[in-house]
Structure 1
Amino acid sequence: MNRPIAIVTGAGGGIGAAIATRLAADFDLVLTHQHDDSDLAAAADAARRHGAQIDTITGDLTLPNTQGALRAAIEVRAARTVALISNAGAYPRIPWHRTDPSTLRGQLELNLVTHAAAIHAATPGMIANGYGRVVAISSVLTQIGRVDLAGYIAAKSGLEGLVRALARELGPHNITINTVRPGSIEVPAERTVVPDHAAMVRRQLDRQCIKRRGQPSDIAAAVAFLVSPAAGFITGQAVNVDGGWDLS
């Protein structure tokens, strides 16, 4: 297939930006989505080094116009799209007593429905081509829980169920679909939202088998494998990348 394309949603920073940067080494074009005008300089530099190209769509994926723009961008590239990494989402901490039905619906829209919309847009071309790789970014918290994140965890658990169902439906078309569950990944924003960052790091390292912080590049490496031809017999799985935090 000429000029294969990978699509990465939520590529404006952290894990998504690392994935876009890593995939620039493996694909001729990476179509990225970001919520705002974030800096994709690292991904763009990686693309130039490897003779690839970065194209970008900006907007809130919970809005129909952004979903439509992403779908349109995918459709015109359908013949060359071989991989989708659905990463966009957020995890606002909301106590259960404040999680009313409206708040819960918002979390499901943000962390489940937007993933479904991106997958729905990308898979017709993959079916037509008889080949595809889909990776959705979930969370290890679906297995261990955490206070103030009930809506987020419920949505991510739904995402994992969606992936298992679609593995059955898409497998006959030679399309694999998996989730990656990041653990505690070090990102700059955590220093501004965690009151005692050093104590948080100590607690996290105590939980893990591997005594270092996870990096966005760790998630990107797992994704790069799952979208490669080498992972063609892996589908419907949830892969923990968490330093051995959850061993269940």
Structure 2
Amino acid sequence: MPGPLNGHTALVTGATGGIGSAIVQRLAADGAAVAMAHFGDHQAATDLVANLTHTGQTAIALEADLRDPRAVHTLCQQAHERLGPVDVLVSNAGAYPRIPWTETTPSSWQEGLETNLTSHYLLAHAITPGMTAGRWGRIITIGSVIAAAGRHDLSAYISAKAGLEGLTRALARELGAEGVTANCVAPGSIRVPAEDSVVPDPVAMTARQLARQCVPRRGRPEDIAATVAFLASEEAGFITGQTLRVDGGWVLG
């Protein structure tokens, strides 16, 4: 069946995580050919590609360290060679190390910025020449509502995510005349399986989170994927430079 993204090629980073895999599946279901970028998660990437191709969708897996400019260049080149020009970029990969402020070092600070901000710059810089040549493109960065809400032990992460919103607005200004939009999706508290291994008391954590929100349920990866799919579509062509918080009303205004 034809979908809203038929004829488009998407590159999704962090594609094997809970949110990333949901985005991959939604974009593929909407008709896009999807290049899935991961970093050392071979089995999950292989399984996801197999599931998608089994149902007639088009997906490939590519590995890259997005902090390395040469690796980013190779990733974009491989995606283009195997699937065609990439006109949808979902820049999702990142890391969430919790480091108390008093234990933050220049090295950990720099690593946080490289992983959660500079990598997004490298990807956008490598992929946008093809978009501007084709006079059509969608850049969708995945930020975090924490950039607005704040939280303990995440100073580098929060700073990087706030910077990512700024980078997204800058890209909207730089590329709008070339037919390219840029928007940031900021997830709130999204329920993913990895949570069970890092949260000491998931039940208590969920209760605290629901008390912060207007909508009394946890977010789902599919909530983020649906927002990304809309922003990637033709219908979102007049939306750019925006941060959409998908957080159940955790942060208002």
TM range, smaller chain:
over 0.9
**For 1:119 and 1:103, how far apart are their aligned partners in 2?**
24
**For 1:201 and 1:131, how far apart are their aligned partners in 2?**
41
Q: State the TM-score, normalizing by the size of structure 2.
A: 0.92
**For 1:75 and 1:46, how far apart are their aligned partners in 2?**
19
Q: State the TM-score, normalizing by the size of structure 1.
A: 0.94
Equivalent position amino acid for 1:113 in 2: T
5+ residue gaps, structure 1, are none
Tell me by how many angstroms 1:42 deviates: 4.5
Determine if the alignment matches structure 1 residue 9 to structure 2 residue 13: yes
Percent sequence identity is 51
| Secondary structure, counterpart of 2:29 in structure 1 | coil
Tell me by how many angstroms 1:121 deviates: 1.4
**For 1:213 and 1:132, how far apart are their aligned partners in 2?**
31
Q: 1:133 — aligned with what?
A: 138
Relative to structure 2, which stretch is displaced further, 35-44 or 89-98? 35-44
User: Does the CA-based 8 Å contact 2:191-2:219 persist in structure 1?
Assistant: yes
Tell me by how many angstroms 1:35 deviates: 1.4
Equivalent position amino acid for 2:39 in 1: H
Distance 1:235 1:78, change over 3 A: farther
| Secondary structure, counterpart of 1:120 in structure 2 | helix
Relative to structure 2, which stretch is displaced further, 231-240 or 40-49? 40-49
| Secondary structure, counterpart of 2:37 in structure 1 | strand
Q: How does 1:178-217 map to 2 (within 5 A)?
A: 178-217=183-222
- 1:27 aligned to 28, 31, 43, which one? 31
Distance 1:2 1:185, change over 3 A: closer
Tell me by how many angstroms 1:197 deviates: 1.2
**For 2:6 and 2:226, how far apart are their aligned partners in 1?**
24
Q: 1:120 — aligned with what?
A: 125
1:154-189 deviation per Cα after TM superposition (whole angstroms, max 9, x unaligned): 011111111111101100011100000000000111
Equivalent position amino acid for 2:198 in 1: V
Equivalent position amino acid for 1:135 in 2: I
Q: 2:170 — aligned with what?
A: 165
Relative to structure 2, which stretch is displaced further, 71-80 or 166-175? 71-80
Distance 1:208 1:38, change over 3 A: farther
Distance 1:90 1:164, change over 3 A: same
Q: 1:66 — aligned with what?
A: 71
**For 1:220 and 1:38, how far apart are their aligned partners in 2?**
22
**For 2:219 and 2:157, how far apart are their aligned partners in 1?**
20
Q: 2:51 — aligned with what?
A: 45
Equivalent position amino acid for 1:19 in 2: I
Root-mean-square deviation (Å): 1.8
Report the number of matched residues.
247
